[in-house]
Structure 1
């Protein structure tokens, strides 16, 4: 049985207050990144700010709200993009990781911050940069 590290009421506050502020920075300030995904039920285009850390295959994201988050379900059901430091990546092949398998992929300062919150679930994503097209 999986525990949810951060209470869901915090999710609601973040969705309305914190996320809009973070999205203003997330394309430009690593390790912040913007996850672009499509709602699997609504079909709406959505943006979610995340902390994405480079791995040999792409990126790893700590599941700070646990694995039952809508963005992860959307990503597993379809394709997604990630914008990090103004570079756009196509994301594929999500792999859920638990414990040290995921924690070893994030920096030590991040592991130290996640430990007291009991965050021990992660998702690693294969990422390919999408070539930018010059403006006409």
Structure 2
């Protein structure tokens, strides 16, 4: 079971605003830049990011039904701010993976404890 909605709301309102300036520069983190599906409004969402040979993976700690995930899937991609640079990411797909394949040791165990089984896979263009 993903992290509860109350925690997600608190993080969106408080924690994310404080951490957003740093996450684009810290190893293992990124800021996802995407636009609202109906409003077209630009958004910036801090995430934990894992590089893969063919792209990136984001653990969906709050589940796959978050607006930012839907925005990225609907748009067919997003931009990622990673360690001071901006890169394009395409072909988003939500993957249900109870085995947490490809997650580094430690992270895999933490995701298991949190019950995270969904991931957003993004390709490099």
Q: Normalising TM by the smaller chain, what interval?
A: over 0.9
CA distance in 2, matches of 1:100, 1:12: 25
Change (3 A) 1:55 1:100: farther
What is the RMSD computed on CA atoms of the aligned residues?
1.3
Q: Structure 2, unaligned stretches of length 5 or more?
A: none
Which residue of 1 is the match for residue 96 of structure 2? 98
CA contact (8 A) 1:61 1:123 kept: yes
Which residue of 2 is the match for residue 131 of structure 1? none
For residues 14-39 of structure 1, give each alpha carbon's deviation from its aligned partner in whole angstroms, at most 9, with x where no partner exists.
11111012202111101110000001
CA contact (8 A) 1:57 1:126 kept: yes
Which residue of 1 is the match for residue 84 of structure 2? 86
Change (3 A) 1:87 1:52: same
> Which of 33, 45, 54 is the matching residue for 1:48?
45
Tell me the number of residue pairs that the alignment of Structure 1 and Structure 2 aligns.
Answer: 124
CA contact (8 A) 1:29 1:85 kept: yes
How far does residue 127 in structure 1 lie from its aligned partner after superposition? 2.2
Verify: 1:122 aligned to 2:119, yes or no. Answer: yes
CA contact (8 A) 2:98 2:118 kept: no
For residues 22-69 of structure 1, give each alpha carbon's deviation from its aligned partner in whole angstroms, at most 9, with x where no partner exists.
202111101110000001111110000000100111100001011101
Verify: 1:110 aligned to 2:111, yes or no. Answer: no
What does residue range 26-65 of structure 1 map to in structure 2 within 5 Å?
26-65=23-62
Length-normalised TM-score, structure 2: 0.92
Length-normalised TM-score, structure 1: 0.85
Q: Structure 1, unaligned stretches of length 5 or more?
A: 129-136
